[in-house]
Amino acid sequence: MQRWLCVSAAAALGTIALPAASQDDAARAEQARKLTATMVQSLGGQLQAAIKEGGPAGAIGVCTGVAPAIAGQLSRENGVRLTRVSLKVRNPLLGSPDAWEQAALAGFEARLAKGEPADKLEFAETVTEPSGRYYRYIKALPVQPVCLNCHGDAASLAPEVRERLAKEYPNDRATGYSVGQIRGAVSVKRPL
């Protein structure tokens, strides 16, 4: 109770000194947000170019090869593991969430059901795992209208999209979405 009063008084005066851990977490969160934004913007630009050139079926190659390359480059450059994950996986080798990510994605679904906007959903915490301590951050990827070209109702997908998905992703479960749902998330894992 006393700590809360001190924090409230300091905040009211406009001079609040955050504990070192909070400052570190704030810096880590900001970096994770920037990395996530870079990933989403870069991938979005590549997808738009591919759609313009070859239609929705052309964009599948971006997700197959370019998206993992972008994530890999950002991971190496920043000393993190950055990836896209989903509860409805298209590529089980690259998009399967670990237990922490599964819990975060389930939490996003619950928060979305309570009315939180999908594009604002994020979660972060410092965790201790068997392999060490990590700062974990995850940001929801909401379904946009253009996403439905490959992630909408499977029966409504263009024939060339269905054929390409069947070839590239024989175990695909990433269809049946509608606008505003959570397609998945970008996840950042930083060793501490």
The Cβ of residue 9 has, within 10 Å, a number of other Cβ atoms equal to 11
Question: Is 18 a residue whose pLDDT tops 50?
Answer: no
3-state secondary structure of 150: helix
Q: Give the Å distances, CA to CA, from 69 to 73, 82, 91, 98.
A: 6, 11, 15, 20
Angle at 100 between CA 36 and CA 28, to 5 degrees: 40
**Which amino acid is it at 47?**
L
pLDDT in tens, 131-180: 999 999 999 999 999 999 999 999 999 999 999 999 999 999 999 999 99
Residue extents of the structural domains in the chain:
19-191
**In the prediction, which pLDDT does 20 show?**
56
Span 37-54, mean pLDDT? 94
Which pLDDT tens digit goes with each residue over 2-16?
A: 333 333 333 333 444
Distance in angstroms (rounded) separating the CA atoms of residues 189 and 192: 10
| pTM of the predicted structure, to 2 decimals | 0.85
Say which residue the tokens 């590549």 belong to: 46
